[in-house]
Structure 1
Amino acid sequence: MSKRIASKYKINRRLGVNLWGRPKSPVNKREYGPGQHGQRRRKPTDFGIQLAAKQKLKGYYGNIGEKQFRRYYQEASRRRGDTGENLVGLLERRLDAVIYRSKFVPTVFAARQFVNHGHITVNGKRVNIPSYNVKDGDIVQVKSKSRELPLVLEGVESVERDLPDYIEVDHNQMKAIFVRAPKLADVPYPVSMEPNLVIEFYSR
């Protein structure tokens, strides 16, 4: 199980959105932020809007650390094409993101821990780094001994999320093939993501 069962929902409350589209999210009942000042409404500044977009995207992938997230931005900037689209593509190549997208576990936090604990192989080799960069055509698989874990069964049976078309998933063999890096429109985010505002935030 993820260590962030309770605290992950603070991210939802702080941002005022149901970030992962889960029915348990407290935002479903209380859209305002946590704490005694949570219900205050202020007109957001341009900086505030950009910061919220960054926190939303960063939080969605398991609250990635600022240093690492900035490195993703720098790598996205170096590549050809739209920087925002490149950023989303890099984030979706994370091994923990692929595990989550493939519905091998119920949450992105559980995916990170699942990879850390050595339950995953990539092209037949054990990988325990959640930020591992999955390449086109890579085969990601849950180890045979780990396939009956309650966490895995919960993930496979979940109806909260749809499988994206840029990953081919076989739940009988608990195997996923990363076909290609997606565009923003391909990613099944439950809330609107604005990577262009994230780019604006870092390029100030």
Structure 2
Amino acid sequence: MKKRAWIVFFDESGVSLLPQVRRTYAPRGRTPTLRHRLNWKRASMAAALGYHAADAGRGPRLCFHLKPGSYDTMALIDVLRQVKAFYAGEPVVLVWDGLSAHWSRDMRAWVAGQDWLTLERLPAYAPELNPVELLWSAIKTRELANLTGDHLADVADATERGIHRVSSDGQLPWSFLTHTGLTIHTQPPQN
């Protein structure tokens, strides 16, 4: 059965002022040194990466949210309200993992009142099925790699640059989905 809805994968991740240490090129004998303050300030980010189930031509859409601290049920409900506005109230099948805040009593009660939203759960211990995990990897290995910011705003700016890079690339979000082994359309869109 074809459903005219957005298939939206959702996930959260954390970032902090501690740098994401990655390999880099340097002249022989000059090992790069990262200097940073040992600061544990953290922020959380959430992303909803959607693919239209019936119309591949509509392209993937990426909704992003960043906040200091961590997400709880009420904060996630606020993010889902933004997702509703982002997808203009169109039907959404949201696919996410088994995080307790995703399936809490308050979350289920709120979702029950939303006619635009259907929830589906990823299998346990299967992050490789969520294309948003590849989004996090793409940002953390490029924009956040070896970043030694003094403030969370530095990390937030770099993260937003990464989100913009991924969003402006018409093929990269499709490659995330392809890498999971999942398909939504019988033929990939032509660029």
* Structure with greater proportional strand content: 2
Structure (1/2) with the larger helix percentage: 1
TM > 0.5: no
Which of 1 and 2 has higher RCO (CA within 8 Å, sep 6+)? Answer: 2
TM range (shorter): under 0.3
TM-score by length of 2: 0.26
Greater gyration radius: 2
